[in-house]
């Protein structure tokens, strides 16, 4: 059992390291753009999906357009998730500022 746990921990550590290194070396502007658009779309839609479900659906749609190796997919996934979260945060802050100035 410790071998399996050790292997899982090693995989998680390896995945994290590879993602960090690749993020420093590779940029995916189309992925960032798609993530920002997906975040805006979630706020404007009437979907019953949670924000995470919607994000993952849009990530899947975006990723299906690319023939990535495993490492490239991990980087693309990380890029999409970060950009999506940043855009959701930006939208919430902007809306908060707008509503704070409204009597």
- In tens, the pLDDT along 35-67 reads 999 999 999 999 999 999 999 999 999 999 988
The residue ranking higher by pLDDT, 21 or 47, is 47
What is the spatial distance between Cα 82 and Cα 80, in angstroms, rounded to a whole number? Answer: 6
The residue ranking higher by pLDDT, 13 or 64, is 64
**Span 14-29, mean pLDDT?**
70
Distance of CA 79 to the CA centre of its chain: 6
pLDDT at 1: 47
What is the spatial distance between Cα 13 and Cα 19, in angstroms, rounded to a whole number? Answer: 10
Q: Measured between alpha carbons, how far is residue 99 from residues 24, 94, 95 in Å?
A: 37, 9, 6
**DSSP 3-state of 64:** coil
pLDDT at 38: 97
Among the ranges given (32-36, 37-41, 66-70, 99-103), the one the predictor scored with the smallest mean pLDDT: 99-103
């Amino acid at each position: 059992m410790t071998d399996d746990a050790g292997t899982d921990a090693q995989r998680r550590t390896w995945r994290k390291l590879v993602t960090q290194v690749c993020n420093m070396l590779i940029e995916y502007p189309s992925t960032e753009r798609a993530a920002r658009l997906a975040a805006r779309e979630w706020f404007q839609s009437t979907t019953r999906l949670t924000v995470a479900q919607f994000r993952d659906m849009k990530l899947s749609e975006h990723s299906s357009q690319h023939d990535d190796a495993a490492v490239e997919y991990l980087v693309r996934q990380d890029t999409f998730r970060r950009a999506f979260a940043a855009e959701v945060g930006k939208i919430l802050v902007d809306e908060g500022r707008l509503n704070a100035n409204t009597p």
